[in-house]
A and B are shown apart, each in its own frame.
Chain A
Amino acid sequence: GAVVSQHPSRVICKSGTSVKIECRSLDFQATTMFWYRQFPKQSLMLMATSNEGSKATYEQGVEKDKFLINHASLTLSTLTVTSAHPEDSSFYICSANGASGAGSTDTQYFGPGTRLTVL
């Protein structure tokens, strides 16, 4: 089946540093990837939609300059949290729409998530 991986699974960084999180579709090409943020005991909040080769579309209230998204290929999207602060600590999850050759194009496949802790 369609598999989405994320790296790293956990990261701890100092306040003011930048952190990059990778999201890969392992066995299919994903034209669209999504980045979510999940707070403890809360639902997933969509941060941005990323299309290969074009600029990401950010949801209202999400700072574009703080959360940089790059979707350079059909199998890789990256989220960079710039100048991270403790309030950015969260669980970040990516997902990808199935494309031809992998599962259903109607289904979003989710990565396992990345736990970011900013000290």
Chain B
Amino acid sequence: GDSVTQMEGPVTLSEEAFLTINCTYTATGYPSLFWYVQYPGEGLQLLLKATKADDKGSNKGFEATYRKETTSFHLEKGSVQVSDSAVYFCALRQGAQKLVFGQGTRLTINP
């Protein structure tokens, strides 16, 4: 079945560092891809999404490009802030079917 694999955390960076969180997927067909963020004590929030190959999703300085050839959707940010500390989930969905989540990556940004 469909699956999502994220880089294992936790990831700890200093403020203003460059961030990459790797995400690869296995799916039949052409899924939509998502990044969700979960701040401490809160529910998951959609961060960005891409619905077809070569699409780039972006929000709050974060970007991810749907790469069909490498089945990847890596999350990047050029300069992280302390407020970006959270757990990040990569996910896919085929049509109207259920979301399939990766295991989550905990990110901690130190001042």
Contacts and interface: CB of A to CB of B under 8 A. Distances in A.
A110 B91 CA distance: 14
A44 B91 CA distance: 10
Contact of B43 (A34, A49, A111): A111
Interface in B1-49: 32, 36, 41-46, 49
Most B CB contacts (10 A, CB to CB) among A34, A42, A106, A111 go to A106
Contacts of B103: 42-43
A81 interface: no
B66 interface: no
A110 B99 CA distance: 12
A113 B43 contact: yes
Contacts of B43: 4, 6, 93, 110-113
Interface string A33-47: 010000001111010
B27 to A, nearest CB: 16
B22 to A, nearest CB: 15
Contacts of B89: 43-44
A4 B46 CA distance: 13
Contacts of A41: 104, 106
Nearest to B51: A106
Interface string A45-69: 0100100000000000000000000
B37 to A, nearest CB: 11
Contact of A49 (B46, B98, B104): B98
B101 interface: yes
A4 B49 CA distance: 20
A44 B42 contact: no
Contact of B101 (A6, A43, A106, A113): A43
B104 to A, nearest CB: 5
A77 interface: no
A110 B38 CA distance: 10
Interface of B: 32, 36, 41-46, 49, 51, 89, 98-99, 101-104, 106
Interface of A: 4, 6, 34, 41-44, 46, 49, 93, 95, 106-113
